[in-house]
């Protein structure tokens, strides 16, 4: 049995099963080889109002950047791929092949979470919510279990992803929640970044498949990472104003179209800032429903038979 859980570096001698069993033992401290008990895990939820705005970054290869620069691009390129298009790799809160939409409350956080470095190419976009969305808050504290889960979810070692997914699916996942809200493992709230200023929020969201339909892309860019994480925009994508084309993207390259590009950029960012303000006002107006709520999930321990 693991007596002290340290998630700074994955220990192969303990393995995924060992870490998971140690966490389960914290939830079921009175279990035996033949007993079944119930654990009540008290969790916090976080609610975001309709219209809330978040950033998304998708790393791409240079050949994809060249293709997107020269050709039209579909909205689907900004979303996680459908299973019949491409198989997703394991992420912090998704197993291999599982579709989840990862967003960040700040674009710099999105860049760092995707491990973008100077010279890398990426698709950069903003998404809004079509409805109020509620998330389980992964970094809930106040108990030993909460502290351990917080440290696990914030691990910088991606070898813990399998452990995180098993714990999340066993003890946290419920379909009435849109997904999980968690703090960045790479960026701290309040951190000052030369190209971005003070980072006001380090929150990330992992949105489950059923809730992805409640999100909407507002606009996006093809970009390359410059010095100090400053995006170099190469092409901008926004939606046509014509209702017949409203789900199609109109693209404009920066080079050779600088004046029109900047005009469209200003228009798009004005809309994004307006949506942000509307979201903040909606959140302030919800005085009877606090942003942080307490939820309880009961977990029946799997029956174990001794041999």
* pTM score of the predicted model: 0.86
User: What pLDDT is stored for residue 147 in this prediction?
Assistant: 82
Consecutive 10-residue runs of the chain (307 residues): their mean pLDDT? 77 94 81 57 83 95 94 90 80 91 96 95 96 84 77 92 92 83 92 92 93 94 94 91 72 94 93 81 49 45 37
**Non-local CB neighbours of 204 within 8 Å, separated by 6+ positions:** 102, 103, 104, 105, 109, 113, 181, 182, 183, 184
For residues 295 and 40, what is the distance between their CA atoms, to the nearest angstrom? 10
The token duo for 109 is 């956080």
Would you give the distance in Å from CA 62 to the centre of its chain?
24
217 has which bridge partners?
127
User: What pLDDT is stored for residue 302 in this prediction?
Assistant: 47
User: What pLDDT is stored for residue 85 in this prediction?
Assistant: 76
Nearest to 73 by CA among 125, 128, 120: 125
Q: Is 283 exposed, middle or buried (0-12, 13-18, 19+ CB in 10 A)?
A: middle
Nearest to 178 by CA among 40, 78, 279, 52: 52
Q: How many CB atoms lie within 10 A of CB 26?
A: 16
**Non-local CB neighbours of 266 within 8 Å, separated by 6+ positions:** none
Q: Compute CA distances 91 → 85, 160, 165, 256, whole Å.
A: 18, 10, 9, 38
């Amino acid at each position: 049995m693991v007596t002290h859980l340290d998630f700074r570096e994955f220990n192969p001698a303990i393995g995924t099963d060992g870490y998971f069993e140690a966490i389960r033992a914290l939830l079921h401290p009175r279990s035996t080889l033949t007993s079944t008990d119930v654990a009540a895990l008290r969790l916090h939820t976080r609610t975001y109002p309709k219209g809330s705005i978040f950033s998304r970054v998708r790393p791409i290869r240079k050949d994809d950047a060249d293709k997107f620069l020269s050709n039209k691009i579909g909205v689907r390129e900004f979303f996680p791929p459908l299973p019949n298009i491409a198989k997703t790799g394991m992420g912090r809160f998704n197993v291999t092949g599982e579709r989840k939409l990862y967003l960040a409350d700040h674009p710099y956080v999105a860049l760092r979470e995707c491990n973008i470095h100077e010279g890398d190419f990426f698709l950069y976009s903003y998404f809004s919510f079509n409805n109020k969305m509620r998330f389980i808050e992964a970094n809930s504290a106040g108990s030993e279990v909460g502290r351990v889960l917080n440290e696990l979810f914030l691990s910088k070692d991606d070898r813990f992803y399998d452990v995180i997914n098993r714990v999340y699916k066993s003890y946290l996942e419920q379909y009435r929640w849109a997904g999980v809200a968690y703090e960045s493992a790479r960026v701290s709230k309040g951190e000052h970044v030369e190209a971005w200023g003070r980072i006001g929020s380090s929150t990330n969201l992992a949105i489950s498949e059923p809730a992805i339909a409640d999100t909407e892309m507002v606009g996006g860019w093809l970009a390359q990472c410059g010095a100090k994480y400053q995006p170099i925009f190469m092409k901008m994508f926004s939606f046509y104003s014509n209702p017949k084309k409203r789900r199609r993207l109109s693209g404009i390259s920066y080079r050779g179209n600088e004046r029109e590009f900047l005009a469209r950029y200003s228009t798009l960012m004005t809309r994004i800032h307006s949506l942000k303000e509307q979201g903040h006002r909606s959140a302030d107006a919800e005085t009877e429903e606090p942003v942080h709520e307490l939820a309880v999930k009961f977990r029946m321990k799997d029956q174990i038979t001794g041999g």
